[in-house]
């Protein structure tokens, strides 16, 4: 099959019979729901840009399995150039959508499972790698969106999976049959799951022998019986149902998260890529996290939009030449580019795994994500500072359009006389969207916990810091014998 267009992608979702709940009710037609639709548009953009001559270099790749052109989101990294193009793609898509475009977790899951399955087979003689290659070929040929599902709800976090009072706090195998397995559990924070054709499940933490039933990786279609999605709330989400283009800030695009229940879901053997090999769970988790942490170069693209919006707010407020405004915009740019530089660095320093697939440099990848847990918060703070208090006290678009009120609002909320009041309202709503509203899920809040909380990165940075080598360097310079 050729690469799909965005509209063909949306129509392919329409054919799925997914079980989606929102506000306590089942969503009859998810593709038509006004809260879901903007997030679907963001995914559709990744299809259309793959067909655009101006962006196809970043959006497509040559499959190492077939030699055909595929969407780069379904590609296994074959070189450091692939890793670098991923980072540049992330920034570009962030600039064009100003939101989470939801496909990064799937690609990072592909690459983690691919290389780990190869090494499991090398040790145990299993056939996980061939199963996964067949699955990947299907995804590439059908040009599908795959959700990567790692985060378990965890229950009592001081206890391992097998020690939980409720054994379903981590997703697990509850039955093994000759033709497959049955799984039960829940995955949280599932970015883009309602806009995906498939879900690729992985364990969430390292495990020991007692946790064998929890050491499982597999994939199923998102409309498989027993897969239940509960749509997550976002700040200002119901504004999308009001029909106001101004009030939502970003009227075209958005992201979403969901809680995904696996209620005794059957998985056929050819879709199982890990089952009980607990000693490889740590490898899988670390490789996924390693790949996913520089994926947050998307925040740099969204940051570009937010910095531009803050600069426009300053223009519209009449203070673009104020020294403190210039300094704040410089600081925002410095922080944004620092994230980008570490994402590029870990990609340029990548190296091949035993499978041939390339892996980023782990220490720099964790440094990148640790920067992301801090810098977007400061960028948001500075943007809010520049925008002013009107950003959160602005009247609605209905008030602005009201014949009785328009004259007052247009008169009293104008900044620079040459700039229409409506333009000022639009840019303030965009800043609100990115820092406090639905866009904040894909920028501010996700920057903290997506791909692991700050402590997860600090643990990896400590593990990879090679402190003894640094000590030996100091001893050598100071002429201290070993």
Q: In this predicted model, what pLDDT tens digit does every residue of 234-272 receive, in sequence order? A: 999 999 999 999 999 999 999 999 999 999 999 999 999
Residue 164 lies in a domain: no
Terminal C-alpha separation, the chain: 62
Residue 239 lies in a domain: no
Question: Which residues 6+ apart lie within 8 Å of 409 measured at CB?
Answer: 395, 399, 400, 421
pLDDT category of residue 416 using cuts at 50, 70 and 90: very high
Domain with 468, as residue range(s), is 294-478
Residue 107 lies in a domain: no
DSSP state of 188: -
Residue 99 lies in a domain: no
Question: Which residues 6+ apart lie within 8 Å of 299 measured at CB?
Answer: 94, 339, 372, 376, 443, 447
> Is residue 181 packed enough to be buried (19+ CB in 10 Å), middle (13-18) or exposed (0-12)?
buried
Residue carrying structure tokens 């590439």:
140
Residue 413 lies in a domain: yes
pLDDT category of residue 441 using cuts at 50, 70 and 90: confident
Residue 373 has pLDDT above 90, yes or no: yes
Mean pLDDT taken over the chain: 97
CATH code of the domain containing 341: 1.20.140.10
Residue 112 lies in a domain: no
- What's the number of domains the chain is made of? 1
- Joined tokens for residue 31: 């593709």
Average pLDDT over residues 279-294: 98
Q: Say if CB 106 and CB 295 are below 8 A apart.
A: no
C-alpha span between 431 and 259 (Å, rounded): 27
DSSP state of 353: -
C-alpha span between 432 and 384 (Å, rounded): 8
Average pLDDT over residues 386-415: 98
- pLDDT tens, residue by residue, 145-188: 999 999 999 999 999 999 999 999 999 999 999 999 999 999 99
> Is residue 32 packed enough to be buried (19+ CB in 10 Å), middle (13-18) or exposed (0-12)?
exposed
Interstrand relation of 351-352 and 146-149 (parallel, antiparallel or unpaired): unpaired
Please state the length of the chain: 482
pLDDT at 445: 86
Residue 58 lies in a domain: no
Catalytic residues: 100, 104, 191, 257, 292, 296, 298, 446
Nearest CA to 168 among 198, 189, 196, 188?
A: 188
Query: What is the 3-class SS of 211-234, one letter each residue?
Result: HHHHCEEEEEECCCCCEEEEECCC
What is the model's pTM? 0.97
pLDDT category of residue 2 using cuts at 50, 70 and 90: confident
Residue 45 lies in a domain: no
């Amino acid at each position: 099959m050729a690469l799909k267009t965005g509209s063909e992608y949306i129509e392919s979702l329409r054919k799925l019979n997914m079980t989606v709940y929102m506000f306590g009710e089942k969503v009859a037609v998810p593709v038509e729901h006004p809260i879901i639709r903007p997030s679907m548009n963001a995914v559709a953009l990744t299809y259309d840009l793959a067909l655009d001559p101006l962006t196809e270099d970043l959006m497509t790749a040559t499959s190492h399995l077939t030699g055909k052109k595929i969407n780069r989101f379904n590609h296994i990294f074959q070189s450091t150039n692939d890793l670098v193009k991923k980072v540049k793609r992330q920034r570009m898509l962030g600039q064009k959508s100003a939101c989470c475009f939801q496909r990064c977790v799937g690609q990072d899951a592909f690459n983690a499972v691919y290389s780990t399955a190869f090494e499991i087979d090398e040790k145990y003689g299993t056939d996980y790698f061939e199963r996964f290659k067949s699955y990947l070929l299907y995804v590439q040929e059908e040009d599908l969106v795959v959700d990567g599902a790692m985060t378990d709800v965890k229950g009592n976090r001081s206890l391992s999976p097998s020690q939980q009072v409720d054994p379903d706090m981590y997703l697990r195998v509850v039955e093994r049959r000759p033709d497959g397995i049955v799984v039960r559990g829940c995955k949280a924070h599932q970015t883009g799951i309602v806009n995906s054709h498939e879900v690729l499940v992985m364990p969430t933490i390292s495990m020991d022998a007692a946790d064998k039933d929890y050491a499982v990786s597999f994939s199923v279609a998102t409309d498989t019986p027993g897969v239940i999605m509960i749509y997550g709330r976002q700040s200002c989400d119901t504004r999308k149902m009001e029909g106001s283009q101004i009030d939502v800030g970003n009227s075209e695009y958005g992201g979403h998260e969901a809680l995904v229940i696996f209620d005794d879901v059957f998985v056929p053997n050819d879709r199982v890529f890990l089952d009980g090999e607990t000693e490889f769970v740590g490898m899988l988790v670390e490789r996924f996290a390693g790949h996913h942490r520089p994926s947050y170069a998307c925040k740099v693209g969204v940051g570009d939009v937010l910095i531009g919006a803050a600069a426009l707010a300053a223009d519209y407020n009449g203070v673009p030449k104020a020294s403190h405004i210039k300094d704040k915009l410089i600081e925002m740019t410095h922080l944004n580019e620092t994230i980008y530089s570490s994402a590029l660095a870990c990609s340029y320093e990548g190296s091949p795994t035993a499978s041939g697939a390339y892996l980023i440099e782990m220490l720099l990848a964790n440094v990148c994500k640790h920067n992301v847990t801090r810098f977007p918060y400061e960028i948001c703070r500075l943007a809010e500072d520049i925008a002013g208090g009107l950003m959160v006290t602005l009247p609605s678009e209905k008030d602005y359009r009201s014949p009785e009120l328009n004259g007052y609002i247009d008169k009293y909320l104008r900044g620079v006389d040459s700039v229409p009041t409506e333009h000022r309202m639009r840019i303030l709503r965009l800043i609100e969207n990115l820092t406090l509203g639905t866009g904040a899920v894909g920028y501010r809040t996700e920057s903290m916990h997506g791909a692991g909380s700050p402590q997860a990165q600090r643990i990896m940075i400590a593990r990879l810091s090679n402190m003894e080598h640094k000590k030996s360097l100091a001893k050598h310079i100071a002429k201290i014998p070993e």
